[in-house]
Structure formats: C-alpha cells, structure tokens
C-alpha cells in the first residue's frame, strides 16, 4: 500500500491527511507546498535489495507514489527512459560529464507522460470517468493518450497559439479539443470555469499530488542510472515549473534516506520572451511578476508562474542554482547543434534547456568538471495531420489580443462552449438513415456528431466520448438495440446518458417492458416524418440540458 501517510507543509510543518483530488493546500498557512510522506524505511529496504522484480519504468518506485495498491491496476507505462552521455555537444564546450535524460522515449515523447500515468491511474482508482486539463501542448497529448487507455473522457483546453500538430495529436487520442483564442493563463481560467460548471475533475498541475509526485521518478531514475550518485547540476526548461518541483522532491527524499550524499544545484531556463522567473531571480526577488508572453516557443508561454516560482526560488537558495533565459534564436541554434552533434531531434522547448546550458557554461556558472544532467523532452515531427480530418477541435474566442479577458467575455465563451459541444451518437447500420438524421440535426444546431454502424462500435464510442444523447436503432447485427441499451446501463460511465430508440418494426408489449426505465423515448420508423422526429430528438436534448443546468 503506497498511499501517503500524511501531507506536510514545507513552510510551517503542519501535517494533514491526503485526500485524492483535493488541492494540496496547507490548512494552517495556506501554502501550496505540501509534501507527501510514505513509509520510507520500507522502501529503502527494497532499494538496498536492488528493487527486485520491478518493471523498468516509473512503477519501479510505486512504494512512493500516491496510489493505494498500484499492483492491481492496469498501469499505463511511462518513465524508464535512457540517460545518455553527451559525446560531442558538451565536449565542444569543454565538458566531459554531461548526461541527457531522454524523455522522448515515453509513450508520447514527453516527460509529461509520467504526470499523465500517475494522475490517470489515480483517476481510475477513484472512479473518475471524465476530466478537464489546460495545457500548452505536451501535457494535453500525454493525458489524452493515458485517458484513452483508461477509458476516461478528457476535455483539453489549449491556446490557439499552440502548434496545430500538438492539438491534432491530442485529438488523435480521442480527447475533446477546445482551442482558445487567448493566452495560456486565459486558457487555464476558462478551463477551470468549464470544469466547475460541468462538475468535472480539473487537473491542477502543481497543486495536484499525483501530478507533482510523478515527476520525482525522474530523480530516482537519474540517481540509479548514475550508480546511486547525484549529479552536480540538474537543468530543465520550464513554463509553469511543476516539473523541477517534483524532480527535487525525489532528490530530497533520497538524501533523507541516505541514498545520496548531496542534492544537485538547479538550473531553470526560460524563453526570453516569457521569463518572469528569470526576471525575478536576477532581481533577487522571491515573487515573480507576471508578463505577457512574447515568444514563438508557445509550450513555454506561462506568463504567470504564481507560487511555483517562489518554491523554485527556495530550492535554489537552499541547494544552489541559477535561472537564465535564452532568445528564440539561441534555442533554435541549440536545436540544430544538438541534431548535428548527437543525432537528437528535439522540440524548441527542450532546446531552450540546452541553449541555457551553453550560456551558463560560457559564463562560468557551471564548471567544466561538474556532472550535469539535462532534461530532454518532446519530438519535432508529429505526423497526426496525415491521419486526422479537419473536424478535430472546437474554437472558443476570447480576446483579440493577449490581455486578460473580461469576466463577461469568459462567461459568454463558456455559454457558447456549452452550446457548441453538445454531442450526439447515432447507432444505426443503415447509413442512409443515419446520414439523413445527422444532416437534419446539424442543420438545426452545431452538434458534434458520431456514428456507429453496430452496437459494439456504439458501446466503444459511448464509453470514450460520453455523448449528451444516443439515438439507436433497435435491429442491428451483432448486439441488438436491447443488448446495447442494457450494456450502457450496466456501465457507470454511460448509465445516465439518455437514449432514444428507433425501430423499423412493431414493438411488442414484452419488448416495451424490457426497454421501460432505460430509455427516454421509442419511435417507429415511418410513423412520423423524419424532420418531426429530429425536432422531438432536439426537445429531448434540450430537456436534459435544462435538467443538468438545474442540478
């Protein structure tokens, strides 16, 4: 059993119980820097035994991750990524002990795969079937993939400034992609309000214990791969800063257990056009002033890091470290250099870290004889655009510029989003009938439509997309409409979705009794014109939306 024994505030020392999916905020001083505590003596004994019979991924360290019993879950694999010694990139700068922690080997080629793996496992363990996340790119893709495996419906909010390939990639994994024409901070705001309106779980990043704890497995892997020794420096490019916050929790735990004899110095690198942390660090301040992002490297465009910066500042003051920024041009130059010298293609957000290492090396901040580890994440050539059509995102327009959106603008956008994203699943083996109903529905309103050609496909789509209404034929190959409806009602994820049944044949009293209590209505094909049938379907949807709004 690995559930945290308690949470402890790093500022005031208060201890409190760990409650899954409640924001980790100190009940005494309201600090958001709460650290999970486990049975470290038991885990240390496992480490000294060589951690036998464990997988070579992050679940190798499941004793110190916030799940009740990971061994019984169908766990999404992440972590276990290689640690490469740089042969040419670093040696050209006079360094012989620079290692690259290559997170590109995760399921979606990002260190965010770790966050998604642990967070989604916790969702599964706690019966969560639908969730919301705001992201600048990599986290959205990672969560979309993990949720697809877990059968969890995911709403992804991303700024329209994010490269289209990232948005398409999230859509490929079945996430509902909401593209917001604003900056990332606005996107987080509208995602939070959407989750609140829909009463859905919102992944809260740095204040989410599963998300933050997942990152410490990077530290454990680095130390184990180095022969149970700590590096002198750990370098990472950041946007909001959750990654290194989690990584350093791992270093601190190992130091406390006596597994390493020091904690590395921390180097935080940002894009110059969005560097609130670096600005504050160089001014000697422990609070960062928000900025309006002005960088092409959108994945690193968090203009307001909030308290995450303060916690990172504290780490640099306690263990040593630097914060530095690089221009977009310097990042692109480092990306080319890394490709030509190490044969590694990385995304611009990662090249920021390597450009920062170059700058700190040339400035003499990092010694030539020091052992350095650089976090390497992301890929450069997504191919999802070749397999997805154009209907993969819903647009939400806030403000024309990057200034904060007024509250009434957010509310209007949310209302528009509620209207825009009503989803209907048609389950009918007659494609002509399905196409006619679909066109009539779409002619009345901007519904998001899905079509399944039989009951089994319908069940799969229903569990993944969790539509607002299902219209199903009664006579189909494979599982018929009766079995389809019964399967829907047995699944906690789909049992409350309203179903309208359409039948081409007369329904007997026994059959009506079998459907009673499970469906909203049953219609006989040919008993009324298709347009009138569609009008009645729309009324059912509206009634359900009204009921949902009152609840």
Mean pLDDT of 330-343: 91
H, E, C per residue of 262-290: CCCEEEEEEEHHHCHHHHHHHCCCCCCCC
Cα separation, 323 vs 235, in Å, equals 10
CB 72 within 8 A of CB 58: no
Cα separation, 184 vs 136, in Å, equals 7
What pLDDT, on a 0 to 100 scale, did the predictor assign at position 90? 94
CA angle 527, 518, 542 (to 5 degrees): 65
CB 70 within 8 A of CB 121: yes
Mean pLDDT of 207-219: 91
Q: Kindly give the interhelix angle for 138-150 and 164-172, rounded to the nearest 10 degrees.
A: 10
Is it the case that residue 330 has pLDDT exceeding 50? yes
What pLDDT, on a 0 to 100 scale, did the predictor assign at position 539? 73
pLDDT level of residue 21 (50, 70, 90 thresholds): confident
Q: What is the pLDDT of residues 387-441, one digit of tens each?
A: 455 556 677 766 655 555 555 566 666 666 655 567 889 898 887 777 777 777 7
What pLDDT, on a 0 to 100 scale, did the predictor assign at position 24? 82
Is it the case that residue 280 has pLDDT exceeding 90? yes
Q: What is the pLDDT of residues 363-387, one digit of tens each?
A: 999 999 999 999 998 765 443 444 4
CB 12 within 8 A of CB 28: yes
Among the residue ranges 51-55, 114-118, 141-145, the one predicted with the least confidence is: 51-55
Q: Do domains 79-102+215-377 and 422-550 have the same CATH topology?
A: yes
What pLDDT, on a 0 to 100 scale, did the predictor assign at position 544? 63
CB 460 within 8 A of CB 416: no
Listed ranges 270-279, 293-302, 335-344, 410-419; the one with the highest mean pLDDT: 270-279
Domain 422-550 of CATH type 3.30.420.40 = no
pLDDT level of residue 529 (50, 70, 90 thresholds): low
Listed ranges 139-153, 193-207, 223-237, 507-521; the one with the highest mean pLDDT: 223-237
Mean pLDDT of 237-253: 93
CATH no. of 112-209+389-413: 3.40.50.1100
**Class of the CATH domain delimited by 79-102+215-377:** alpha beta
* 292 against 422, higher pLDDT: 292
Among the residue ranges 2-6, 100-104, 166-170, 522-526, the one predicted with the least confidence is: 522-526
**Please, where are the H alpha helices in 110-215?**
112-125, 138-150, 164-172, 184-198, 209-214
What pLDDT, on a 0 to 100 scale, did the predictor assign at position 380? 57
* pTM of this structure: 0.78
* 525 against 31, higher pLDDT: 31
What pLDDT, on a 0 to 100 scale, did the predictor assign at position 402? 57
* CA atoms within 13 Å, Cβ hemisphere of 419: 11
What pLDDT, on a 0 to 100 scale, did the predictor assign at position 385? 44
Domain spans, the chain = 1-71, 79-102+215-377, 112-209+389-413, 422-550
Q: What is the pLDDT of residues 97-140, one digit of tens each?
A: 999 999 999 899 889 999 999 999 999 999 999 999 998 788 89
Share of the chain above pLDDT 90, in %: 47
- Kindly list the strands in the beta sheet with 153-159, ordered across the sheet, starting from the edge strand earlier in the chain: 201-202, 130-135, 153-159, 176-181, 394-397
Three-state DSSP state, 98? strand
Is it the case that residue 53 has pLDDT exceeding 90? no
């Amino acid at each position: 059993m690995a559930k945290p024994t308690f949470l402890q505030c790093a500022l005031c020392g208060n201890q409190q119980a760990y409650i899954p999916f409640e924001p980790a905020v100190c009940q005494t001083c309201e600090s958001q820097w709460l650290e999970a505590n486990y049975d470290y003596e038991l885990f240390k004994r496992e480490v000294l035994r060589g951690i036998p019979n464990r997988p070579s991924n992050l679940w190798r360290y499941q004793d110190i991750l916030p799940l009740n019993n990971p061994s019984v879950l169908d766990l999404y694999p992440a972590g276990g990524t290689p640690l490469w010694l740089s042969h040419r990139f670093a040696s050209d700068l006079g360094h012989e002990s620079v290692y690259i922690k290559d997170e590109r080997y995760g399921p979606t080629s990002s260190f965010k795969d770790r966050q998604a793996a642990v967070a989604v496992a916790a969702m599964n363990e706690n019966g969560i079937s639908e969730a919301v996340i705001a992201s600048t790119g990599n986290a959205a893709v990672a969560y979309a993939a993990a949720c697809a495996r877990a059968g969890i419906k995911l709403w992804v909010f991303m700024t329209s400034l994010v490269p289209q390939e990232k948005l398409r990639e999230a859509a490929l994994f079945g996430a509902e992609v909401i593209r917001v024409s604003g900056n990332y901070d606005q996107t987080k705001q509208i995602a939070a309000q959407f989750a609140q309106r829909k009463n859905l779980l919102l992944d809260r990043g740095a204040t989410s214990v599963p998300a933050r704890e997942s990152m410490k497995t990077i530290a454990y892997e680095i130390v184990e791969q180095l022969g149970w020794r700590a590096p002198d420096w750990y370098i990472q490019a950041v946007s909001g800063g959750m990654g290194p916050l989690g990584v350093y929790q791992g270093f601190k735990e190992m130091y406390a257990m006596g597994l390493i004899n020091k904690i590395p110095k921390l180097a935080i690198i940002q894009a110059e056009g969005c560097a609130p942390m670096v600005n504050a660090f160089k001014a000697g301040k422990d609070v960062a002033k928000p900025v309006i992002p002005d960088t092409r490297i959108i994945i690193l465009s968090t203009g307001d890091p909030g308290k995450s910066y303060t916690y990172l500042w504290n780490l640099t003051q306690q263990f040593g470290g630097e914060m530095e920024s690089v221009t977009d041009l310097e990042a692109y130059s480092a990306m080319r250099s890394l490709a030509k010298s190490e044969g590694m293609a990385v995304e611009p957000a990662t090249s920021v870290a390597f450009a920062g290492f170059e700058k700190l090396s040339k400035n003499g901040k990092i010694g030539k004889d020091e052992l350095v580890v650089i976090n390497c994440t992301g890929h450069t050539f997504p191919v999802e655009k070749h397999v997805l059509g154009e209907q993969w995102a819903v647009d939400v327009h806030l403000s024309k510029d990057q200034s904060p959106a007024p509250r009434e603008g957010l509310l209007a956008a949310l209302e528009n989003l509620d209207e825009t994203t009503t989803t209907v699943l048609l389950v009918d083996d007659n494609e002509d009938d399905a196409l006619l109903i679909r066109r009539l529905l779409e002619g009345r309103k901007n519904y998001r439509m899905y079509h399944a050609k039989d009951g089994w496909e319908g069940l799969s789509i229903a569990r993944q997309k969790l539509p607002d209404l299902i219209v199903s034929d009664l006579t189909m190959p494979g599982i018929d409409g009766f079995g389809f409806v019964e399967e829907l009602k047995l699944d906690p994820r789909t049992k409350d979705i309203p179903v309208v049944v359409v039948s081409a044949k007369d329904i007997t009293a026994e059959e009506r009794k079998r459907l009673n209590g499970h469906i909203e209505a049953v219609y006989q094909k040919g008993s009324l014109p298709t347009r009138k049938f569609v009008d009645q379907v729309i009324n059912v949807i509206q009634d359900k939306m009204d009921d949902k709004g009152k609840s």
